[in-house]
Amino acid sequence: MHTAQGLPPIAAAQRTLHEHWLAEVTSTPSAAGKEHRVIAYLDRFFAQRPTWRSDRDQAGNITVRRVPTSPTAAPASSSRPIYITAHLDHPAFVVERIIAPSTLQLSFRGGVMDEYFIDGKVVVWDQHDKPTAARLAGVVADQPGPFKHYLCELATPNPALRVGDVAVWDVGPPTIRDNRMHTLACDDLSAVAAMLAMVDALDAMDQSLITQDIRLLFTRAEEIGFIGAIAAVREGTMPKDARVIALENSRSFAESPIHGGPIVRVGDRMSVFSPTLTDAIAKRAEEIAGAPSTVTAAQKLSDLPQWKWQRKLMAGGACEASVYFSAGYEATCVCLPLGNYHNMADLANVQAGTNTSPARIGPEFIGLDDFHALVDLLVACALRLPEAGQRSALFDKLWAERSFVL
């Protein structure tokens, strides 16, 4: 693990614990509107953290605020709170009808290509957290509402199943291979895990170093159109002067590779985010890396430091930062490059029609090095996040040194 410059070190034992949380959180069944298992995990986590106080808005979004309890702890010096946000759901199924002891009707809440549902294997979780293996058996036509419906045949009857229970793709348990975490739901639960790891890292350091007003927001129902984020905006869950850093997992491409580091995302397919906040986060990434995100034409790749980060548009999808930005917040996004986006394996070939085998579901995966670097970057932003205008010093320096050529 490459060390970020200028930050209190995170111990190897802490990093191992953070990977354990990553595996636990990302393998937790969750669907839009049915995020209760992840919420219970968060409740247990913050119940053990006296310096963090959680609350809920009317939509069930969770807000968490750092409230120092020690008389020697530094007060928040900034009047503008910094909100770090992530969503709690992942594309998944919800039980709509129990047709027979071994036959269910499921709705799917999220975006996955139709080809991936053919004979798809799923796991249905009852209210007692007992899993039942099942297989999709076809589309149910002409159903009301915005979601597609599917028949599902259980491997064995489970009389404990109820309408409203959650079913997820059967991708097996989380595993680490080739410095990557392969698991059910990186999007966006690995970002949730990174936020918990940031909290752990902050709690372990000298509290006098933490002088900013750090808050967290965990939103619901992102995968069906940012519904939790929209609710947070409509209800004023965050004050209008907040600086909002939305965390995401975004589909990796050749120009945004896994193991290339966390991505300071300048925009998505809907909007370009707040440039001043994006620049502030990029500035912190540059400081802890010791260099910009990419080489210049006059450099070699070997000139880049080992702590990696990226700065990209990531226009292949949209994220909650667009919701906050459109509502007038200073908002941007930091994301992890993601493989098997929405559990769709070999997605590029399936989209192009060049796949040589049927579309299949697989675990999502991220680089563990990217995950730990995201934690580093969140800690860096929590300790110090510059205000606007930080780049002007560079331009002033260039002018002072080189304007003589004019």
Would you say residue 397 lies in a domain? no
Would you say residue 402 lies in a domain? no
356 with 225, same domain: the answer is yes
Single-letter amino acid code for the residue at 348: A
Q: Has residue 298 got a pLDDT over 80?
A: no
Cβ(377)–Cβ(283) below 8 Å:
no
Cβ(272)–Cβ(266) below 8 Å:
yes
Q: Has residue 399 got a pLDDT over 80?
A: yes
Query: What DSSP string describes 15-29?
Result: HHHHHHHHHHHHTS-
Q: How many CA atoms lie within 13 A of 30 on its CB side?
A: 30
Cβ(61)–Cβ(216) below 8 Å:
no
Q: What percent of the chain has pLDDT over 70?
A: 96
Rounded Cα distance between 182 and 368, Å, is: 10
Higher pLDDT, 387 or 108: 108
130 with 270, same domain: the answer is no
Would you say residue 301 lies in a domain? yes
325 with 183, same domain: the answer is yes
372 with 231, same domain: the answer is yes
26: pLDDT confidence band, cut at 50, 70 and 90?
A: very high
319 with 345, same domain: the answer is yes
Q: Has residue 72 got a pLDDT over 70?
A: no
The pLDDT tens digits of the residues spanning 190-211 come to 999 999 999 999 999 999 999 8
Q: Has residue 74 got a pLDDT over 60?
A: no
Q: Has residue 43 got a pLDDT over 80?
A: yes
pLDDT for 388: 65
**Does the predicted model carry a pTM greater than 0.85?**
yes
Would you say residue 403 lies in a domain? no
Higher pLDDT, 12 or 143: 12
Pair of tokens at residue 404: 């003589």
194 with 333, same domain: the answer is yes
Rounded Cα distance between 387 and 398, Å, is: 21
> Which CATH number fits the domain that encloses residue 337?
3.40.630.10
Residue ranges of alpha helices (H) inside 145-290 are 186-203, 227-235, 275-289
Q: Has residue 76 got a pLDDT over 60?
A: no
Mark which of 132, 147, 169 sits at the end of a domain.
169
Q: Has residue 8 got a pLDDT over 70?
A: yes
209 with 272, same domain: the answer is yes
DSSP H or E segment with residue 86: strand 82-87
Q: Has residue 3 got a pLDDT over 90?
A: no
- The residues pairing with 93 across neighbouring beta strands, listed in sequence order, are 108, 167
> Which CATH number fits the domain that encloses residue 96?
2.40.30.40
383: pLDDT confidence band, cut at 50, 70 and 90?
A: very high
Once rounded to an integer, what is the mean pLDDT over residues 273-296? 90
Would you say residue 400 lies in a domain? no
Closest CA to 251 of 362, 361, 333, 365: 365
73 with 149, same domain: the answer is no
pLDDT for 215: 98
Verify cis geometry, omega within 30 degrees of 0, for the bond prior to 188: yes
Q: Has residue 395 got a pLDDT over 80?
A: yes
186 with 280, same domain: the answer is yes
Rounded Cα distance between 270 and 86, Å, is: 18
291: pLDDT confidence band, cut at 50, 70 and 90?
A: confident
Once rounded to an integer, what is the mean pLDDT over residues 355-369? 97
Q: 128 is in which domain, residue-wise? A: 92-169
82 with 107, same domain: the answer is no
Would you say residue 50 lies in a domain? yes
pLDDT for 310: 96
pLDDT for 390: 59
Once rounded to an integer, what is the mean pLDDT over residues 163-177? 98
Q: Has residue 75 got a pLDDT over 70?
A: no
Q: What percent of the chain has pLDDT over 90?
A: 87
Would you say residue 404 lies in a domain? no
Q: How far is CA 310 from the centre of its chain?
A: 16
pLDDT for 146: 93
Q: Which of 76-85, 176-185, 320-329, 359-368 has the lowest mean pLDDT?
A: 76-85
Per the structure, the count of domains in the chain is 2
Mark which of 153, 169, 185 sits at the end of a domain.
169
Rounded Cα distance between 304 and 293, Å, is: 8
Q: What is the chain's mean pLDDT, rounded?
A: 94
Residue ranges of alpha helices (H) inside 204-319 are 227-235, 275-289
Higher pLDDT, 278 or 67: 278
Cβ(148)–Cβ(108) below 8 Å:
yes
Number of Cβ atoms within 10 Å of the Cβ of 394: 9
Rounded Cα distance between 192 and 366, Å, is: 14
Q: Has residue 385 got a pLDDT over 60?
A: yes
The dihedrals phi and psi of 279, each to the nearest 5 degrees, come to: -65, -35
Q: Has residue 224 got a pLDDT over 90?
A: yes
